[in-house]
Amino acid sequence: MKFIVSSSLLLKQLQSISGVLSTNNTLPILDNFLFELNDNELKVSASDLETTMTARLTVDMAEDEGNIAIPAKLLLDTLKTFSDIPITLEIDKENFGVSLLAGEGKYRLAGQDGAEYPTPAQLEDATNLKIESDILHNAISKTIFAASNDELRPTMTGVYVELTTDNITFVATDAHKLVRYRRNDIKGEESAAFILPKKPLNQLKGILAMGDAPVDIEFNEKNARFNFRNITMTCRLIDGKYPNYSAVIPLENPNKLTLDRSPFLNAIRRVSLFSNQATYQVKFKIAGTELHLMAEDLDYSNEAKERLNCHFEGNDMEIGFNSKFMVEMLNNLETDQVVMEMSEPNRAGLILPLDDENKDEDILMLVMPVMLNA
């Protein structure tokens, strides 16, 4: 088995899938890339058992066909040192030795039998869905930061995807903050729902940024597969029932605060530098057309106050929020102005974009308040 390929092309494809590789694999063979040669098509795969990513590329010359597992780190580090040159890989099927010829250099790697590499799950009775890559990238970017890191509540560590005959909704929450991203221009033939883990979503987010093209999605009760350009990703879904997120979204919010997003975001960033670094609490005092932001750290005698002009409908109020959550949410909105809807100082507040130009996009962000210091 032998083939010739551009070093930079191979490196680019390997880098696009290498994020799946884990540093503490239970199976030693997962420290390798799987190479599969068939005619002039080379398939390279990486896996951590839960998620498998495969990239397809065309080689310049191929002799024989077969597969081989090649040490991932050593191969990546070697390819990074080359300029864009043709390289030849020759595999000895008897002992799985790999010879790499590049310019005047010859390198030998110890490969493993590719037949031992785990194969991705087969999707039976799968539901199919097509989404444009920019829409899916947006949905992941605007939700994944709100997913929980608490492994004791596994369903909340992923992004919940709910498909209906009217729309598709992506939800993430860690019980302190929640994001619901809905698209009314994508509909399913029937209702379905699944929970995608965070790691494959981050990998998907990375490859979707490489260009515009439709993403073909297949999923059943246990697995999902994403096909984008020359890359395929198969991942195991999180098993379990997602919390009833709709029940925590307050419907009656008579107090509405409208602000310019960028000045609001920057003011919270500045004031939060002076907050207690355990709670990151920033106090909102809203009266008339003014919002006063206040933070203090009594341990270090640090204090900050800032005033912003705003438009406010409702009763004057004081409420506290975790500034880290507020910054994350405002960072993931793109409109010039945002609306905060609130009811009581001990009830969740909503952050919504104002006058979003895209009528098919519906974003709602929820943040729980923190108890104000007496």
* Topology alike, domains 127-246 and 249-370: yes
Q: Which CATH code is given to the segment(s) 127-246?
A: 3.10.150.10
Q: What is the pLDDT of residue 233?
A: 97
What digits encode the pLDDT tens for the residues 62-87?
999 999 999 999 999 999 999 999 99
Mean pLDDT, residues 314-324 = 96
Mean pLDDT, residues 214-224 = 96
Segment (H or E) for 26 = none
What digits encode the pLDDT tens for the residues 160-187?
999 999 999 999 999 999 999 999 999 9
Please report, for the chain, the start and end positions of each structural domain, with discontinuous segments joined by +.
2-116, 127-246, 249-370
Rounded to the nearest 5 degrees, what angle is found at the Cα of 142, between the Cα atoms of 140 and 147? 75
What percent of the chain lies above the pLDDT cut of 70?
99
Residue type, 342: M
Q: What is the pLDDT of residue 97?
A: 97
Mean pLDDT, residues 216-231 = 96
249-370 topology per CATH = DNA Polymerase III; Chain A, domain 2 (3.10.150)
Helix axes 261-272, 323-331, angle to 10 degrees: 150
Counting other chains too, the contacts that 134-138 makes at CB distance below 8 Å and 24 or more residues apart are: 134/208, 134/212, 135/183, 135/186, 136/204, 136/208, 136/215, 137/205, 137/208, 137/209, 138/181, 138/361
> C-alpha 208: how far from its chain's center?
10
pLDDT higher than 80, residue 303: yes
SS3 category, 95 = coil
pLDDT higher than 80, residue 211: no
**This prediction's pTM:** 0.93
Q: What is the pLDDT of residue 212?
A: 84
pLDDT higher than 70, residue 373: no
Residue type, 373: N
What percent of the chain lies above the pLDDT cut of 90?
92
Mean pLDDT, residues 224-236 = 96
What digits encode the pLDDT tens for the residues 138-163?
999 999 999 999 999 999 999 999 99
Question: Which of the following CATH numbers is that of domain 2-116: 3.10.150.10, 3.40.50.150, 3.30.465.10, 3.40.50.300?
Answer: 3.10.150.10
What digits encode the pLDDT tens for the residues 3-55?
999 999 999 999 999 999 998 888 999 999 999 999 999 999 999 999 999 99
Residue among 270, 224, 221 nearest 241 (CA): 221
Q: What is the pLDDT of residue 209?
A: 85
Mode of pairing for the β-strands spanning 66-71 and 112-113: antiparallel
SS3 category, 91 = strand
Q: What is the pLDDT of residue 67?
A: 96
pLDDT higher than 60, residue 353: yes
What digits encode the pLDDT tens for the residues 242-270?
999 999 999 999 999 999 999 999 999 99
SS3 category, 140 = helix
Q: What average pLDDT does the structure give for the chain?
A: 95
Q: What is the pLDDT of residue 25?
A: 86
